[in-house]
């Protein structure tokens, strides 16, 4: 009889522990989904914002005549990152289209050095706060850059879709999950969740792929 009681007690503890672990991983699944959802929204927002300026659809269009270009690395950059990434900062004079405004201290971040006198098509994203200020922001325009930003915009849709899936079902996309993928997928199909997920993720994958391919055409 003592053995039976001990066995029952052990089984009860095991079940309690399993329930506790399952609950923790269920919460982790939804927490991971929230992270994916927020990351997707941030990436999509950044892609749309940067893409609109790179395409020349937002901001003030103009020309920056280069005075000099310097390669600058962050102080904490590693040797490998210094070798693989060369952030170039070009300074010069910006003249808005139609000569509506000028900025003699304009700077723009680009991917390569340009010789003095080179004219770069840029977009002023933030205007000067004062006539003698030097705090305007600029981005180099070009449809190749714009399409890569749009690729990030659509890539954010994929993360958003995964986030919604994990939040709705409790499935954890990493480590041990209390809810199996098959069970989560079955649960998602009981309402409109599955159709929405397939649509969002499908549009995201196709949009990102097409955007990156088109960026190499320009």
67 within 8 A of 91, measured Cβ to Cβ: yes
Characterise 77 by phi-psi region: left (phi > 0), alpha (psi -120 to 50), beta (else). beta
Which structure tokens are listed for 66? Answer: 């280069």
Q: What are phi and psi of 94, to 5 degrees?
A: -100, 135
Interior CA angle at 17 toward 11 and 23, to 5°? 135
Q: Is the pTM of this model over 0.85?
A: no
Model pLDDT, residue 132: 56
Model pLDDT, residue 107: 92
Which structure tokens are listed for 134? Answer: 């030097």
Neighbours of 146 (CB within 10 A): 24
Domain edges within the chain:
29-53+146-215, 56-141
Model pLDDT, residue 24: 43
- DSSP three-state, residue 215: helix
pLDDT in tens, 60-86: 999 999 999 998 665 544 444 444 456
Q: How far apart are CA 116 and CA 65, in angstroms?
A: 8
Model pLDDT, residue 73: 61
How do the pLDDT tens digits run along the chain, 218 residues long? 444 454 444 554 444 434 434 444 445 667 888 899 999 999 999 999 999 999 999 999 999 999 999 986 655 444 444 444 568 999 999 999 888 888 998 999 998 899 999 999 999 988 776 655 566 889 999 999 899 999 999 999 999 998 888 888 878 776 565 677 777 778 777 777 788 888 999 999 999 999 999 988 87
């Amino acid at each position: 009889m003592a053995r039976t009681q001990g066995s029952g007690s052990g089984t009860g503890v095991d079940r309690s522990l399993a329930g506790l672990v399952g609950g923790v991983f269920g919460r982790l699944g939804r927490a991971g989904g929230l992270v994916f959802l927020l990351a997707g929204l941030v990436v999509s927002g950044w892609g749309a914002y940067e893409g609109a300026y790179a395409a020349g659809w937002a901001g003030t269009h103009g020309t920056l005549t280069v005075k000099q270009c310097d390669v600058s690395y962050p102080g904490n950059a590693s040797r490998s990152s210094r070798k693989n990434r060369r952030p170039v900062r070009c300074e010069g004079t910006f003249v808005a289209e139609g000569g509506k405004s000028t900025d003699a201290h304009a700077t723009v971040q680009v991917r390569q050095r340009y010789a003095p006198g080179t004219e770069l098509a840029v977009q002023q994203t933030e205007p000067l706060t004062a006539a003698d200020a030097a705090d305007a922001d600029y981005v180099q325009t070009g449809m190749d850059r714009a399409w890569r930003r749009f690729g990030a915009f659509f890539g954010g849709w994929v993360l958003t879709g995964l986030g919604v899936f994990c939040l709705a079902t409790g499935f954890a996309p990493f480590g041990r999950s209390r809810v199996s993928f098959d069970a989560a997928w079955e649960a998602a199909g009981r309402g409109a969740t599955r159709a929405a997920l397939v649509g969002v993720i499908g549009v995201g994958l196709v949009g990102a792929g097409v955007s990156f391919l088109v960026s190499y055409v320009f």
